[in-house]
Amino acid sequence: MAEQKSLSPAEFQILLALVDGPKHGRGIKLDVRERTDGDVDMGPGTLYGAIKRLLRRGWISEVTESLETVDDERLRYYAATPDGLEAARVEAARMSTLLGIAQAKQLIV
Amino acid sequence: MSGRKRAPWLIRALVRLYPLDFRREFGRDVEKESADTLAEGSDGGRRLGAWVRVVRDVSLSVCREHWDTWVGDVREGGMASVLQDVRRVARGFVRTPGFTAVVVLTLGLGVGATTSIFSVVHGVLLAPLPYPEADRIVSVSEAVADAEQQSISVSYVNGQDWKTGQTTLDAMALVRGGAVTLNGPDGAQQVSALFADPEYFEVFGTEAARGRLFEEADNRVPGGHPVAVLTHDAWDRLFGSDPGVIGAAIDLGGTPYTVLGVLSATYRDPFGGANGAGNDFIIPAMMAGIIDPRGEDIVTVRRWRTFGAVGKTRPGVAIETADADLKRVAAQLESVDAVNRGMTAVVLPFNQVATTTFRGPALALLGGALVLLLIACFNVANLLLVRGAAREHELALQYALGAGRGRLLRLLATESALLALIGGALGITLASLTLPTLLSLIPNQLPPTADVHMSLPVLAAAMALSLGAGLVFGLIPAIRLGGRDLRPALSGARSGGSRKGERVRSGLVVFEMATATVLLAASAVLVRGFEEIRSADSGFVTENVLSLRVNLPPATYIDQAGMARAAAELSERLSSVPGAEWAHAWGPGRPGQSFNFQTSIPEGMVVDQIMDSPLARRHQIGAGGLEDMGISLLRGRTFTDSDRLGTPGVAIISESMAQELWPGEDAVGKQYHNFQPPGQPIPTDRMWTVVGVVADARHGGRVSQPGAITTPNDSYFPIAQRPERSFTLLVKFNSAPDVAPVREAIRSYDSNIPITQVATMAENFAVEEGTSRFAAQLMAAFGLGALLLAALGVYGVIAFTVSQRTREIGLRAALGADSRAMLHSVMRRGLVLALAGVTIGVLVATAAIRGLQAVVPNVPGMDAPALAIASTALVLMAVVACLVPAARATRVSPVVALKGD
């Protein structure tokens, strides 16, 4: 499988959304949209494409026990794995470093 | 489905395109999420925005997932798995050589036609001109303020005022081409000279390879600067690259000119020159009087508009800004001289001006080639579908053996890509092989700066076209396979070709027929337009008439009397050449093609502005010439020997001109003159008495050029009374013209007279008709190609249907069905498809031909014959294509057909 260590923005947002606990696809999308004041609004393809890649890399996993059903159809919940949380932390740290540089150069205050 | 809402069909169709693994896992999620997102948009505007976002997002994601899958597969199996696929597909091709050949040939022809046309379009219209910052080079012309598209030549004096008044051009130069006589040790020969302002070199970024260019100081006094710059080619050709010629004097028309320098070898002449091969000399504009009967007046008198103008905009200045700037200057000049009243200036990109006549036909042909490629794509898609259906069993078996649907799809994709690549390679080969032939079909029609070859952009475009074609024809079978359950195909071994598959294939055939109808109708109209041009009655004798141009050297033929005498004596000599019936001088142009106009104002009519004057073409002809040319006299008399220099000016005018100038009256005996600014007396040599009226003839060229002045008015003058330095000699033979004795007769008269443009009138017409013929021939070829491809499409579908229905037909035959009824049923199906396609095609064709009329000159309107020819040809082809499978159906033996069970 493709072993890429970098996180795409969509993947990073999904991991952030899952820090609080498992969510289903639409829940992730709504969480991201709310947190970013609608700036980040993932389309269906972007959302599930990113979910697929995170699953393949083992950074999120599907929650197996039934949490919620609609008309007998079980919604698929996803949870961040320890590896996934670690990846999100590394990415956040990297961003924080960048932020520090930008502040040092007084790009932002 | 969640049961809440079903995703719209478009989304479901898109989701179907995902790789199977992804679709299995997330397909429904994506559908549901899309439906939910779309449901959020409440009002119309937001809903549309949501649609656009979702469709774009899902489409991009489809591509991304396919890429991921492919990359994953390659990583997993290594390049070996891709190669394995390729090998397997290639083996399939080898197993079905007929199928492969048809597909590759179809594609190759489509790509080849498009590529070769595109290489011409690229070389002529798209590639930048071979000059530094070529996009800043502009052409400037004068025009009547309310008829700007009919731009005309520029007055040299106005041009100089433009130069000083404008603020948007870095440099501007007035130019005029002409033929001059070079007297060398080998005798006289005609060479092409460009008379130009020194800024010319700046505009085109040209430098001297040797010596120097001429400068401002070399262009001050009319007739006072006998200097010249040689092009590198002329230096090679005329002087054997002799460095000694620089600084030396050469004899041009009897005057010694000092050669200042030689242009760099990379300089490409932007103008055709007198013989279409570019100019040999560049001479200061102040010397242009030597090529015009008005002499130095053409650079000192404002009213003579005989120059062209080119310029280079300042960096960052838009052409529209320069246009407005020059219009401002032209408006100021209106009050300077009455000849400027109502006149304005027009600035256009130089490239556009250089290629106007070619643009329309070239774009039309490119469109035709693309349509042909599209038909080819549909055909290949159809063939793949038919084969896919026939192979369903094989595919199902592979699937059952665990090949995986994704793998099958990948095989199909590999197959399409491989076919596209092979077809594309064949197309590029065909295009490069046919390009020389293609170019030879357009003699003298390409602008001199055109550089047509298989360049990198052309190759890139060809490859993109092939792969695009592969995508179009490969996608359709892939979608079909993508959504299908393959198991039934395995059990019911021969049930292939579902009803839905048949619908898709039939739809493709209808579309193909429609497209082919449009292309055929377009080519029928173009061919008819060309036929009309070719067969148009010119109104004068052209059969076995030889035409050639002579240019009288000013040193020998000093004045008008000398020129008049030479015209008469040359005609006299040529008429006694063996086989000749008659010979006449004709100036300043030649019959059939004359672009010399003069203002013609009836005596007593008051005209304030030059542009309000009636216009007529001007011809000068020897006594007896009109009669011999078959331009019949309707009233009055023709010219006699007493119409000569020193006697009152006479003219013979065409019927149309007589009616315009003196409606309802007899023109014979009336007087008219050319435009004079108000208050100025009419010079006696600019006043003519009409002595005769002749029938109209067509002297405006065979093909109307965009923006050209068109008038049915012709005026003829005795060449003995209005002599020309450069004129045409026409020699009528009683059989095929013989050039050698004509040349010899002129040489024996005066070996210093250069002879050029030797051709029969038929040859002259053929050159003029070049672009039209080219467009018509090529479009006809495209139309024929479309016809064949469409027939192949119909054949494929019908033949396949028959083969699928063999059992049913056999059963019916066993039950005693009439074989004729069977034939009818098969034929009916083919005809329904053909008629549906042709009907749609006819509707589209009417619109397409209106578009064609807008870009190609002399295209007749859409008419019933063209449509009838196109539709009949297509329906007939469809019938023929159905006959073979239909006949096969009637011969189905019940025993054989039913034995399969």
Q: Tell me the mean pLDDT in the region B730-753.
A: 91
Which of B316-320, B334-338, B522-526, B531-535 bottoms out in mean pLDDT, i.e. has the lowest?
Answer: B531-535
> What is the structure's pLDDT at A4?
45
Nearest to B18 by CA among B61, B50, B57: B61
Question: From CA B788, how far away is CA B109, in angstroms rounded?
Answer: 12
Question: From CA B505, how far away is CA B477, in angstroms rounded?
Answer: 10
pLDDT band for position B8 (cuts 50, 70, 90): confident
Which residues in chain B are closer than 8 Å to A53, comparing Cβ atoms?
68
CB contact under 8 A, A43 and B4: no
The residue among B634 and B8 whose pLDDT is bigger is B634
Q: Which of B31, B58, B72 is the closest to A43 by Cβ?
A: B58
pLDDT band for position A1 (cuts 50, 70, 90): very low
The residue among B697 and B147 whose pLDDT is bigger is B697
B104-126 tens-digit pLDDT: 888 888 888 888 888 888 877 77
pLDDT at B273 over 70: no
Query: Who's near B607: CB < 8 A, 6+ residues apart?
Result: B599, B601, B613, B675
pLDDT band for position B706 (cuts 50, 70, 90): low
**Cβ(B520)–Cβ(B786) below 8 Å:** yes
Q: Which of B25, B29, B61 is the closest to A46 by Cβ?
A: B61
B430-479 tens-digit pLDDT: 888 888 887 777 655 566 666 677 777 888 888 887 888 777 777 666 66
The residue among B454 and B837 whose pLDDT is bigger is B837
Q: Tell me the mean pLDDT in the region B327-354.
A: 87
Q: Does A76 touch chain B (CB under 8 A)?
A: yes
Question: From CA B628, how far away is CA B622, in angstroms rounded?
Answer: 10
Closest chain A residue to B61 measured between Cα atoms? A45
- When mean pLDDT is compared over B669-683, B790-804, B811-825, the highest value belongs to B669-683
Q: How many CB atoms lie within 10 A of CB A97?
A: 10
Angle B664-B665-B667 (CA atoms, 0-180°, nearest 5)?
130
pTM score > 0.80 for this model?
no
The residue among B270 and B236 whose pLDDT is bigger is B236
Q: Does B17 touch chain A (CB under 8 A)?
A: no
**Cβ(B895)–Cβ(B811) below 8 Å:** no
**Segment holding B228, helix H or strand E:** strand B227-230
Which of B391-395, B600-604, B615-619, B837-841 bottoms out in mean pLDDT, i.e. has the lowest?
Answer: B391-395
| Percentage with pLDDT > 70 across chain B | 88
pLDDT band for position B901 (cuts 50, 70, 90): very low
**Cβ(B378)–Cβ(B793) below 8 Å:** yes
Q: What is the ipTM of this complex?
A: 0.85
The residue among B1 and B500 whose pLDDT is bigger is B500
Question: From CA B115, how far away is CA B429, in angstroms rounded?
Answer: 10
Tell me the CA distances in angstroms from B728 to B72, B83, B166, B552, B759, one per residue in order: 76, 69, 40, 11, 11
The residue among B127 and B256 whose pLDDT is bigger is B256
Angle B211-B214-B218 (CA atoms, 0-180°, nearest 5)?
135
> What is the structure's pLDDT at B539?
85
Length of chain A: 109
The residue among B81 and B538 whose pLDDT is bigger is B538
pLDDT at B705 over 80: no
Q: Does B51 touch chain A (CB under 8 A)?
A: no
Q: Tell me the mean pLDDT in the region B351-356.
A: 70
pLDDT at B496 over 60: no
Strands (E), B678-725: 687-694, 714-718
CB contact under 8 A, A45 and B2: no
pLDDT at A2 over 50: no
Q: Tell me the mean pLDDT in the region B291-309.
A: 86
Question: Which of A24, A26, A52 has the highest number of chain B CBs within 10 A, making it the mutation to test binding with B?
Answer: A52
> What is the structure's pLDDT at B759?
87
Mean pLDDT, rounded, of chain B: 83
Rounded to a whole number of angstroms, the distance from the CA of A109 to the nearest CA of chain B is 35
Question: From CA B454, how far away is CA B123, in angstroms rounded?
Answer: 9
Q: Does A70 touch chain B (CB under 8 A)?
A: yes
**Chains A–B, number of C-beta pairs less than 8 Å apart:** 65
Tell me the CA distances in angstroms from B407 to B73, B78, B390, B404, one per residue in order: 9, 15, 19, 5
Using a 10 angstrom Cβ sphere, with 0-12 exposed, 13-18 middle and 19 or more buried, the burial of residue B449 is buried
Nearest to B859 by CA among B719, B750, B706: B706
pLDDT at B665 over 80: yes
The residue among B9 and B573 whose pLDDT is bigger is B573
Question: From CA B599, how far away is CA B613, in angstroms rounded?
Answer: 6
Residue for token pair 């020897």: B622
3-state DSSP call for residue B626?
helix
**Cβ(B505)–Cβ(B382) below 8 Å:** yes
Q: Does A108 touch chain B (CB under 8 A)?
A: no
Q: Give residue B102's Cα distance to chain centre.
A: 31
Q: Which of A25, A26, A45 is the closest to B61 by Cβ?
A: A45
3-state DSSP call for residue B313?
strand
Residue B227: both structure tokens together? 């200097």
Q: Tell me the mean pLDDT in the region B629-633.
A: 93
Q: Does A71 touch chain B (CB under 8 A)?
A: yes
Q: Does A29 touch chain B (CB under 8 A)?
A: yes
A18-49 tens-digit pLDDT: 998 888 888 899 999 988 888 888 999 999 99
Which residues in chain B are closer than 8 Å to A23, comparing Cβ atoms?
none
Q: Which of A2, A43, A52 is the closest to B26 by Cβ?
A: A52
pLDDT at B148 over 70: no
> What is the structure's pLDDT at B143?
84
Q: Tell me the mean pLDDT in the region B621-646.
A: 92
pLDDT at B38 over 90: no
pLDDT at A66 over 90: no
> What is the structure's pLDDT at B669?
94
> What is the structure's pLDDT at A3?
41
B220-234 tens-digit pLDDT: 999 999 999 999 989
B748-770 tens-digit pLDDT: 999 888 887 888 988 888 777 77
> What is the structure's pLDDT at B593?
80
Q: Does B75 touch chain A (CB under 8 A)?
A: yes
